[in-house]
Amino acid sequence: MVATAAVLSIGAGPVEAAPVSRTPAGGFEELLVPSSMGPIKVQVQWAARGGSSALYLLDGLRAPSDHSQWTTDTDALRQFAGDNVTLVFPVGGRSSFYTDWYRPSSTNGQNTTYKWETFLTRELPDFLAEYGVSRTNNGIVGVSMGGNAALTLAAHHRDQFRFAGSFSGFLNPTSPMWNHTMRAAMLDEGRFNIDDMWGPANDPAWSRNDVTVQAERLRDLPLYVTTGNGVPGPQDLPSGVGNTINGAAIEALAVITAGVFRDRVTALGIPARVDFTYGTHTWPYWQQSLTNARPMILDALHAH
C-alpha cells in the first residue's frame, strides 16, 4: 500500500498530496508522517533542483513540539536554499535522545514509547521515498542531545547515511559523569526517566548508543564534530546572563566528551574533523558549525 501525506503548506490549509517519483524543486512544506508513536510533523525544504539527497537535522533536549529550532533559531533554510539537497527537520522528541526506548517514561505519564531510531531510519525514509528522496544518500547532524544521536544513528545505519555531524554533542554517555548528568537533565526537561530509555547503566543499550564505544562503525564516513570551550563570547549576549551561565557549564562538559571521542578515533586511525572553538551551548554557535560543515555535506552527498 502506498502512503499519502497531509501536507501543510505555509499560509494554506491541509491538502492531500499524491505520491510523486521526483522530489519537488525547492520550497518549504510540513508533512505529517505516520509512525508507531503516532503522526510526526516533519518540516522539509526540498532540494533546489529536485535532487534525491537529504540532510536530517536533529534538535536538542528541549525540542519543541510544533517546529524544529533549526528553522527558527538558525539560517539553515537560507544556507541551503540554492543547494540540491532536501533538508529534513523532524519535530518533537524532547528528552528522547532520538533513540528507541524500552518503554514509556514512568515518571511523567507518557502514553507511547519513544521509537525515534525506528522512525528516523525506517518509517521516515520510507515515507520520503514516495517524494523521490533517496533512502541511502542522506547526511545527519544534531546539536546537544541530537549530536550523539546523529553519530550513533549513522554508525548503526551505514546503508542510509553518507555524512554525520555533532555540534556540542554528548559523545560518551557510558561515562559515569554523563549517566548522572543526563538523568538530571531529562528529569528537568519533562520529568523523563532515563531508566525507561536504556535501562540501568550496565545495560547493553548504553554502549550501543555511545558513539565513542561504537567509533569503529564510523570508519570511512565523513565526520564533523565541533564544540565550544564554555567561554562566553559576543554571540551569547542576546541569551541573557542566566542562559549564558547554563550554556557555559554544559559546553564545558561537552568539550570533554569531544576530546574523548577525538582521542578514540585517532587511536583507531579513523579520520574526523574535530573543531574546538570558543563559545557556549547555544544556537548562534551551531549555526556557524553548520556553515562550516556545509561544504563537507555537499561533497559527501554529491549535492552541489
Q: Which residues are catalytic?
A: 144, 251, 281
What does 234-256 look like in DSSP terms, one character per residue?
Answer: GGGGGG-HHHHHHHHHHHHHHHH
Nearest 10 degrees: Cα torsion 104, 118, 90, 233: 80
Residue type, 175: S
The residues facing 32 across adjacent strands are 6, 41
Closest CA to 30 of 38, 39, 21: 39
What angle do helix axes 176-188 and 241-268 make, rounded to 10 degrees?
A: 140
The three three-digit cell numbers of residue 55, written as one number:
540532510
* Residue ranges with strand state E in the chain: 5-9, 14-17, 28-33, 40-45, 54-58, 86-90, 138-143, 161-167, 223-228, 273-277
> Which residue is associated with the grid cell 528529569?
187
Three-state SS annotation for 198-234: HCCCCCHHHHHCCCCCCHHHHCCCCEEEEEECCCCCH
Nearest 10 degrees: Cα torsion 293, 53, 72, 165: -30
The three three-digit cell numbers of residue 227, written as one number:
564544540
Helix or strand or coil: residue 155?
helix
